[in-house]
A = this chain, B = another copy of it.
Amino acid sequence: VDGRQQVMVEALAYLSLYHQEQGNFAGFVPQMARVHDEIMQTGTYWQGEDELAYGARVAWRNNSRCIGRLQWKSLAIHDMRHLQTAEEIYEALVEHIRWATNGGKIRSAISIFAPQVPGEPGIRIWNPQLIRYAGYKNSDGSITGDALLCELTESMRHLGWKGGAGTPFDILPIVIQMPHQAPMLFELPRDIIVEVPLSHPEYSWFADLGLKWHALPVISNMRLEIGGVSYTAAPFNGWYMGTEIGARNLGDVERYNLLPLVASKMGLNIRSDRELWKDRALVELNVAVMSSFARHGVTIIDHHTASRQFMHHQRNEAEAGRPLPADWGWIVPPLSGSATPVFHTSYEDRLLTPNFFAQEDPWRTTTI
């Protein structure tokens, strides 16, 4: 199959889904005819605003790993396909963060930049999320900040970033790379970024650990594919599920690795795994995240409620006669798995498009 034919097949599949789900059966044939001609002439096609918007929502609905999909219809679309420069895109990202943060009452949104031209590189945002903390390798082998971000932090240095203040929570600049151009660095304005300092409802020493996390998770390195068209820069956000911060970002050994510290402060014996100090520290870290976000008026969902919402979504999808592709290992929360209803459900996974796909880290392939 040549590329053109592949695009045609995908366009056909998506346009038929789109018109069917919207109940607009009459619209399908003329639109498919138009799209067919455009693909024959250019190898791709420009999607209508509504086709784009619906496609992004279905991409969310189709993503097997996301537990938050009950909300799929509520995704706000920022159609930014007309922007032509890295500076303009940077401005749009700033606006995305501001709009989605909404003073703490988080709104789900996606900003969609110009699609990839077939056979050419697409626009890339290097950051895995728009807001991420730097990871610095110290000369003694230890790491300050987010260990997962060490490689990207290093790449940014090579691009000319001077580095931050050297705290464990230095916000990384944004790197935007236009097709066939060098990547460009942009510092985010501090005043648009809401962060939540972490305290604990019972342990007064907790606040003194100086921990915090940002309010808004905006995934910015995935490719959105709709009807054979690839949007390589299409950052999207929902709100956090508490365990993403409390269990994974702060708890994982390969991230902030804070369980030993928290457990020691709690007075637990961290020499004996049998005494479940990791489990106790993990729960209290998550309690701190949930209660701190609540106190600061920032939207967040706990994993029990999220699991229940997902069960609700499952019923919705069954009623709509649609399959529910789901990856059990990602849907089940990393904390207290068996205490959530999703643990006791088995899921079939399958790859449906539209969807979001991982892309190669650009600093590994770029030659500039």
Which residues on B sit within 8 Å (CB–CB) of A286?
Answer: 276, 279
Copy number of this protein in the oligomer?
2
Interface residues of A in 246-284 (CB under 8 A from B): 247-248, 251-252, 254, 259, 273-276, 278-280, 282-283
* CB of A206 to closest CB in B, whole Å: 15
Report the separation of the CA atoms of residues A337 and B274 in the bound assembly, to the nearest whole angstrom. 15
Given contacts A329-B328, A329-B329, A344-B254, contact A336 B275 (CB under 8 A): no
Are A305 and B344 in contact, with the CB atoms below 8 A?
no
Are A335 and B334 in contact, with the CB atoms below 8 A?
no
* Chain A facing B: main interface SS: helix
Given contacts A273-B304, A283-B283, A302-B273, contact A278 B329 (CB under 8 A): no
Interface string of A280-312 (1 = CB under 8 A from B): 101100110011001000000010110000000
Report the separation of the CA atoms of residues A269 and B276 in the bound assembly, to the nearest whole angstrom. 23
Are B305 and A336 in contact, with the CB atoms below 8 A?
no
* CB of A261 to closest CB in B, whole Å: 14
Are A339 and B290 in contact, with the CB atoms below 8 A?
no
The number of residues on chain A lying at the interface, defined by a beta carbon within 8 Å of a beta carbon of chain B, is 36
Report the separation of the CA atoms of residues A279 and B340 in the bound assembly, to the nearest whole angstrom. 10
List residues of A whose CB falls within 8 A of some B CB.
243, 247-248, 251-252, 254, 259, 273-276, 278-280, 282-283, 286-287, 290-291, 294, 302, 304-305, 328-329, 332-339, 343-344
18 contacts between A and B (CB under 8 A): A247-B338, A247-B339, A248-B338, A251-B339, A273-B302, A274-B305, A275-B287, A276-B286, A278-B339, A280-B287, A282-B336, A328-B329, A329-B329, A329-B332, A332-B337, A334-B338, A334-B343, A335-B338
| Apart from A248-B338, A254-B344, A279-B286: 5 A-B pairs, beta carbons within 8 A | A274-B302, A274-B305, A279-B283, A279-B335, A280-B287
